[in-house]
Chains A and B, each alone.
Chain A
Amino acid sequence: MLELDQFRHVYFQECEDLLGSLEVQLMALQEGAAADDVIQETFRAIHSIKGGAGALQFKRIGAFAHNFEALFDKIRSGETALNPDLVTLSLHAFDMLADLIAAEQSGAEIELGIEDHISEALQEAIGTEQKSAREDRAEAGREVSGASEPDAPTLYRITFRPPTDSITRGNEPLYLIRALKTLGRLSVSADQDSLPLLEDIDPQASYLAWNFELETGAGPEAIAEMFEFVADDSDLSITALNESENADDGRTASADPASNERKSVEEGETSEAGGGSQGAAKSAANPNPDMNESNSRYFGATSVRVDLDRVDRLVNMVGELVIAYSTVLQHVDDRLRMTHPQLVHELSQFIQHTQTLQDSVMAIRAQPVRSIFARMPRLVRDLSDQTGKRVRLKTKGESTEIDKTVIEKLSDPLVHMIRNAIDHGIETVEERQALGKPPEGTITLSAEQIGGRIIIRVRDDGRGIDRERMRRVAVDKNLIAPDANLSDEEIENLVFLPGFSTARSVSDISGRGVGMDVVHQNIQKLGGRVSMRSQPGRGSTITLALPLTLAVMDGMIVRCGDFVYVIPLANIIQSLSPRPEEIGTLPDTGDVLRFRDQYVKLVDLNDAFGTQSAAANDNQLIIIVEAEAGGVVGIVVEEILGQEQVVIKSLEENFSHVRGIAGATIMGDGRVALILDVTAIGKLGGKRPNAGTVAEPGVAELQEISA
């Protein structure tokens, strides 16, 4: 049985929408607008409410809605004319319906029969008496007859010739035969009389007929039901033979496609002879042994519904396991390796198993990206309609799996990227034709897993990026220096800078500049990266690289003073120990480091967080990180403690967001380390030559300073 409670919420939500719409329509009717579509809408709304009520067995709602619907059925077909009295009646009926639904939803009791006077009025208007009660009884009657009494196993002879077009209609006889087999013991032979010569055969047509002998206790109705889709168009006869024989008399198998079918029908069964006596014994004990088996066969049972809470707890526990084995690992040093080699060996086995367990558990929450990809075709269609461009969407790799937590956050960025592609990438039909391109533009959405990351690409075959224009806009908006020397790739990625908007299309979608910087921020928050590549005139590709899961992250553990921090490995470009002469000071920026043709702003964590180091340290280590799109910052630390996979814990769960901190993690020794938010760090404090630290809202730091 299907548990109906789980659908209550969906239904009542649907009712809310439908009642709202219904009210609007009825108001319109009251004002005299008796247009066809208003009446049709009214009918539809009531019909849907009735349908759901029936499915969820809300009998009162269903019965009441039935009469209400019937009235509007007559009105829409013209049989009954709408007049002010009927409109008034409808409004009363609407109120009653809303009340009945509200009562069902809240569990409140509504007096039985309170709706009767309206029901009767509706029925009078329709001109029918007790229709619903009659139908109810009829339905009940049908239900009773549907459940057939288990008969003693009877042998039936069945002949079946499906229509020639059976397969083209989606009725594959093979499936039918396999389904028939679930009723009992079946033997089959095919009649090839109508099979034409090979060269005349249409592979989509059905030429065969079959003779079956089926031994089953399910009764003739159950057998007939099997054929119900094809019965009208086929030659079908079902005859019960009186004795229950063993269907063991070796029907001749014809050497042709039918024999394959016969074999596959018998696959999985033990040989007739052996199975025969067992079959008889089983049938004696339980009249419907095959029936029970066959039912369980329907339920593929390839999935189990599990409370998401349980899964989350499991993931958390595995996270703890990761911390625990990190702790253990800390104790394994060279000395231990020498004194207890066997122990160390066993330990590494243990840790490997734990890592496999971790991977498997993480995979539980993994879902195919299909669920978000599936929303995109509609978006593409809506946007093509709005912009007047012709666009189609192709998808690849939709079965690639990502952690549920990542998937939900992917949806918005994907929507933005597709909007961007349609708005700025794909040209109008005329432009495309003028360029010799097919009038319909294509956007390809793909997902694949490469080396521990999920790579998602949105590719369009549009006009690509006009690099000159990009550069100009960036210079105009002071995002880069006028003489900055940027590679093609760097120019293409300017689109992710905050404040960069090339909105030149008029459509209201992109009025706000589409927000590629928002996409970038969101993806970075997920621990991923975005990049853009383009070929002018040919198209552009945006690539998202995401971690497989949000729960665990690779981090570099660093120390600054007494504090231990974690820097996400995904953001680290390089770490280095500079010579003092490589560090300079700029009046407005503070300390900078010359790194690969740029000057990179340095951020001292003590300054950023207002903490103090115990001792002054001249040997500074710098971790170069990607702060924002193209923006690079150097974080000054005192010591690199190592690299670890850490479990990410949220601060917001019990506290609130702290600027500069993305989360926390629990180190092997049980202490808490803070995970840095590298983008925010970049904005917090740079070292000043003199006292006072002030946050400098930094954007791209790609500046070349002439010496």
Chain B
Amino acid sequence: MTVQSDLNEQLLAQTSETGNQDSGSSQFVAFTIGEQNYCVDIMSVREIRAWTGATPLPNTADYVRGVINLRGSIVPIVDLRTRFGQGETDPTKSHVVVIVAIEERLNGLLVDSVSDILTVSAENVAAIPETDVGSRARYLDGLITEEDRMVALIALDRVIDEISVQ
């Protein structure tokens, strides 16, 4: 998938340059779920893969789609749409899994598509407005305005953390 490999290359290139925090701006990988835009800190993203199915895990929460084989490691896939209470994704080959790492643990986020990589300076990340209700708000760390769209910054540790607790 050309888009995917392009993005993976960009990922590699970006993360090997000077780290995020030094220059006062950070980089994020942006993706979409339905009409909405989200992003995660680039430093947690390990790679981006096309959806090729997952083995369902019994006795787990509804947002855990299952597990995949990532070069020998068993990695759980989280349907972010379900996580945000917006129903189930019906994934096809064109859907994307963003592999992220939190403290050595790998997880895959199932999203509709990945858009691009954003570079944003710290002051441009706004707080979540109090009026944003719904389960979504718990999992967000901030809002970024990029050109004409609003991209919500996901708090990965909160999204993933609860998953491990069964």
Contacts and interface: CB of A to CB of B under 8 A. Distances in A.
Interface of A: 316, 319-320, 563-564, 608-611, 649-651, 653-661, 664, 666, 670-674
Contacts of B75: 654
Interface stretch (B8-16, B64-72, B128-136, B144-152): B64-72
Interface of B: 53-60, 66-69, 72-76, 105-107, 163-166
Contacts of B76: 654-655
A493 B115 CA distance: 62
Contacts of A673: 55
B56 A611 contact: yes
Contact of B73 (A564, A649, A660): A649
Residue from A316, A650, A657, A671 with most neighbouring chain B CB atoms (10 Å): A671
B69 to A, nearest CB: 5
A384 B165 CA distance: 44
Contact of B74 (A320, A654, A657): A654
Contact of A316 (B58, B72, B106, B165): B72
Given A654-B106, A656-B163, A656-B164, 13 more contacts: A316-B72, A564-B55, A610-B58, A611-B56, A651-B67, A653-B74, A654-B76, A654-B105, A655-B74, A657-B166, A671-B53, A672-B54, A672-B55
Contacts of A316: 72
A674 B59 contact: no
Contacts of B163: 655-656
A563 B66 CA distance: 12
A660 B58 contact: yes
A649 B106 CA distance: 14
Contacts of A657: 166
B67 A609 contact: no
A550 to B, nearest CB: 16
A656 B57 contact: no
Given A656-B166, A658-B58, A672 B72 contact: no
Contacts of B67: 651, 655, 664, 672
A661 B57 contact: yes
Contacts of B66: 672
A299 B132 CA distance: 71
B44 to A, nearest CB: 14
Given A653-B105, A657-B166, A672-B67, A611 B72 contact: no
Contacts of B164: 655-656
Contacts of A651: 57, 67, 74
Residue from A651, A655, A658, A666 with most neighbouring chain B CB atoms (10 Å): A655
A658 B59 CA distance: 7
B162 to A, nearest CB: 11
A673 B107 CA distance: 18
Contact of A609 (B53, B54, B59, B106): B59
Nearest to A671: B55
